[in-house]
């Protein structure tokens, strides 16, 4: 029995499933799900992420967390939370950096929110006993100011997809073709909310899970104070498009190819996440990854690393380019802050040009 067999039997008896149901099964099925069964992350796995490209990425997040804690008035009790911590590299670099802020580590109670047992094992190997684990944010004790980080988490939260046809909206679903193979099709299921005006052929994605995370973060931060930093590739304003993508061994593959064997992602819907957080009483802001890393001082950090290891100059230059060049990760990746409404976190004091333009449009 494979996940393909199980899904095929489920669809044959119960009818087509939504793209969100398909993503959830492929990523999290306890027996066959991608994250449930393997730590396929890193050069030897299916994809690599910014913290694995260079220590500078995690260091800039660490500088941000330490500066945020200072701006919050150095609370002596703090939840430092990472959601979706992968192989633990990001938190490891953050912890190495924040120890330079005297008092931070004594105040911080460090939590990792992780659903994948194999990745939890990797995180434990890298980070040891200094952290605690939770399966959801709700399991992390509340009642203290929180600094939360999540890199490439929103992109694995499921979306439903709607396609505008010549006669109205239809939902894109996963069904079976005449040979009994998985295939995409259209169904007449209603969307959870209003869908925008669109041209025939346009696809609109709706993620209840991404919006729910925005609301959950908003409620917690409004009550306890603090800020969350969500980093992902995605849109900063309303947009159309089918962004479902499958990656296996660093190559794009058909999302219906061997369910559970490839990483499935979508673009983060930052406008929906931010609106949900604002509805709970929080402030929000968004920058490109380039703007955020530059404001946190990545250029100066790269120069310092080169000064201390001149032989690595070319490598460090290439790493910096991958993180901040507009045609690499710099523009596609966004850094979104959700914060209690009584302050503005570091790097977000200045409004970025693209947000002003969106407001004026």
CA–CA gap between residue 26 and residue 23 (Å, rounded): 5
Among 59, 93, 114, 242, binds ligand SAM (CB under 6 A): 114
Comparison of 18 and 164: residue with beta carbon closer to ligand SAM: 18
Structure tokens at 77: 């009790």
Closest approach, Cβ 51 to ligand SAM, in A, equals 5
The closest of 330, 259, 264, 267 to 293, measured between CA atoms, is: 330
Q: Considering the rule CB under 6 A, would residue 86 count as an interface residue with ligand SAM?
A: yes
Phi–psi pair at 8, nearest 5 degrees = -60, -45
The closest of 143, 96, 145, 90 to 113, measured between CA atoms, is: 90
Closest approach, Cβ 168 to ligand SAM, in A, equals 32
Among 83, 122, 173, 293, binds ligand SAM (CB under 6 A): 83
Q: What is the H or E stretch that residue 42 is in?
A: none
Closest approach, Cβ 113 to ligand SAM, in A, equals 5
Q: Which residues, other chains included, contact 49 with Cβ-Cβ below 8 Å and sequence gap of 6+?
A: 41, 86, 151, 152
Comparison of 205 and 232: residue with beta carbon closer to ligand SAM: 232
Q: Of the listed pieces 108-116, 162-170, 193-201, 219-227, which binds ligand SAM according to CB under 6 A?
A: 108-116
Q: Considering the rule CB under 6 A, would residue 336 count as an interface residue with ligand SAM?
A: no
Residues 272, 255, 263: CA angle, nearest 5 degrees: 75
Q: Which residues, other chains included, contact 144 with Cβ-Cβ below 8 Å and sequence gap of 6+?
A: 75, 77, 78, 79, 109, 224
Closest approach, Cβ 248 to ligand SAM, in A, equals 14
Q: Which of residues 27-46 bind ligand SAM (CB under 6 A)?
A: 35
Q: Considering the rule CB under 6 A, would residue 51 count as an interface residue with ligand SAM?
A: yes
Comparison of 198 and 212: residue with beta carbon closer to ligand SAM: 212
Closest approach, Cβ 35 to ligand SAM, in A, equals 4
- Between the alpha carbon of residue 185 and those of residues 188, 192, 206, the distances in Å are 10, 19, 17
Q: Of the listed pieces 5-13, 110-118, 277-285, 344-352, which binds ligand SAM according to CB under 6 A?
A: 110-118
Q: What is the H or E stretch that residue 226 is in?
A: strand 226-235
Burial of 63 per CB tally in 10 Å (0-12, 13-18, 19+): buried
Closest approach, Cβ 83 to ligand SAM, in A, equals 5
CA–CA gap between residue 206 and residue 97 (Å, rounded): 37
Closest approach, Cβ 358 to ligand SAM, in A, equals 26
Q: Considering the rule CB under 6 A, would residue 276 count as an interface residue with ligand SAM?
A: no
Among 24, 92, 146, 151, binds ligand SAM (CB under 6 A): 151
Closest approach, Cβ 278 to ligand SAM, in A, equals 22
Q: Considering the rule CB under 6 A, would residue 113 count as an interface residue with ligand SAM?
A: yes
Cα torsion through 130, 157, 25, 140, rounded to 10? 30
Length of the chain: 361
Q: Considering the rule CB under 6 A, would residue 85 count as an interface residue with ligand SAM?
A: yes
Among 20, 80, 101, 156, binds ligand SAM (CB under 6 A): 156
Question: Which residues here bind ligand SAM, judged by CB under 6 A?
Answer: 35, 49, 51, 83-86, 90, 113-116, 119, 151-153, 156
């Amino acid at each position: 029995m494979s996940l393909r067999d199980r899904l095929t039997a489920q669809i044959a008896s119960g009818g087509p499933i939504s793209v969100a149901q398909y993503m959830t099964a492929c990523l999290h099925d306890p027996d066959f799900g991608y994250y449930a069964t393997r730590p396929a992350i890193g050069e030897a796995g299916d994809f690599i992420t910014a913290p694995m490209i260079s220590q500078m990425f995690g260091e800039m997040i660490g500088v941000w967390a330490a500066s945020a804690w200072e701006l919050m008035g150095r609370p002596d009790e703090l939840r430092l939370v990472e959601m979706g911590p992968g192989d633990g590299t990001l938190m490891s670099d953050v912890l190495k950096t924040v120890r330079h802020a005297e008092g931070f580590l004594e105040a911080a109670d460090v939590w990792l929110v992780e659903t994948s047992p194999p990745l939890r094992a990797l995180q434990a190997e890298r980070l040891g006993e200094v952290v605690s684990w939770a399966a959801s944010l709700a399991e992390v004790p509340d009642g203290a100011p929180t600094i939360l980080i999540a890199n490439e988490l929103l992109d694995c939260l499921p979306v439903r997809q709607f396609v505008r046809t010549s006669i109205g909206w239809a939902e894109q679903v996963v069904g079976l073709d005449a040979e009994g193979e998985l295939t995409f099709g259209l169904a007449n299921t209603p969307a959870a909310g209003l869908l925008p005006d669109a041209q025939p052929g346009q696809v609109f994605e709706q993620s209840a899970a991404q919006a729910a995370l925005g609301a959950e973060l908003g409620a917690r931060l409004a009550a306890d104070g603090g800020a969350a930093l969500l980093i992902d590739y995605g849109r900063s304003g309303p947009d159309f498009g089918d962004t479902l993508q499958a990656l296996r061994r660093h190559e794009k593959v058909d999302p219906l190819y061997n369910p559970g064997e490839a990483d499935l992602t979508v673009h983060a819907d930052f406008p929906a996440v931010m609106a949900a957080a604002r509805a709970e009483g929080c402030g929000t802001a968004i920058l490109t990854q380039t703007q955020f890393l530059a404001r946190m001082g990545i250029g100066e950090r790269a120069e310092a690393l080169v000064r201390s290891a001149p032989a690595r100059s070319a490598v460090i230059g290439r790493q910096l380019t991958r993180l901040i060049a507009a045609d690499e990760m710099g523009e596609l990746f966004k850094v979104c802050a959700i914060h209690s409404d009584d302050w503005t976190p570091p790097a977000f004091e200045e409004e970025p040009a693209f947000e002003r333009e969106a407001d004026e449009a």
